Amino acid sequence: MRPTIGVLALQGDVREHFSALRECGADPVSVRRESELAAVDGLVLPGGESTAISKLLEVFGLLEPLRQRLRDGLPAFGSCAGMILLAREVLDTRPDAQSLSGIDMTVRRNAFGRQVDSFETDLDLTGLDDGPVRAVFIRAPWVERVGDGVDVLARVPSGPAEGKIVAVRQGNVLATSFHPEVTGDLRVHRMFVDSVRERAVSSAR
């Protein structure tokens, strides 16, 4: 089956995720309304500006419906700003910023520094075969704390941020500090699409 996977299309790099999802065998759709959210099998929260996206979630009436769908087990994948939004706690953010509590973790916003501090590195990511992932970090967060039910999938291998957590999964929810949608490596998206497909098939039985 081709699962219907929404991409939260309020702000950020929506088009790149659309392309990656389609190549991985999903039918991507834009999500800006509660009715569109209700119709998807999974959801991608793209990179962008996390505080702006959280405000727009309130403006578009999506904040509480999305929190509820996550509580109900909706598979979700957040990259960069999407990781920040999915966290239970966010450090170095505005006091009025909202989070979705999709993953029991504490995230530090803009942990790697400003835009000029953006960088790339190779990461070994648990669950992926065929070698390391080329990870692109752009004003990226990192994870400072994870709860008991959270699997750490990748850490920075070297440099000043060595050992920092940059990919996690809790149940059906996946998050990365980096942007897999910009490299052409589809393995992270394929991992997510496969998990959405498996849940959709099991729910249909």
CA 126 – CA 144 distance, rounded (Å): 19
What are the residue ranges of helices labelled H in 60-183? 63-71, 81-86
CA 82 – CA 59 distance, rounded (Å): 18
The total number of residues shown for the chain amounts to 205
In the annotated binding site for L-glutamine, the residues are 48-50, 109, 138-139
Task: Print burial letters for 31-68: b (CB count within 10 Å at least 16), e (below 16).
Answer: beeeebbeebbbbbbbbbebbebbbbbeebebbebbbe
Contact 155, 38 (CB under 8 A): no
CA neighbor of 104 nearest in space, from 73, 65, 149: 149
Annotation marks residue 179 as catalytic: yes
Annotation marks residue 89 as catalytic: no
In the annotated binding site, the residues are 48-50, 109, 138-139
Q: Which candidate in 16, 17, 24, 179 is catalytic?
A: 179
Q: Which candidate in 16, 17, 24, 80 is catalytic?
A: 80
62 Cβ contact list (under 8 Å, min separation 6)? 8, 10, 31, 32, 33, 34, 37
CA 164 – CA 80 distance, rounded (Å): 14
Q: Which candidate in 16, 24, 181, 189 is catalytic?
A: 181
Residues classed as catalytic:
80, 179, 181
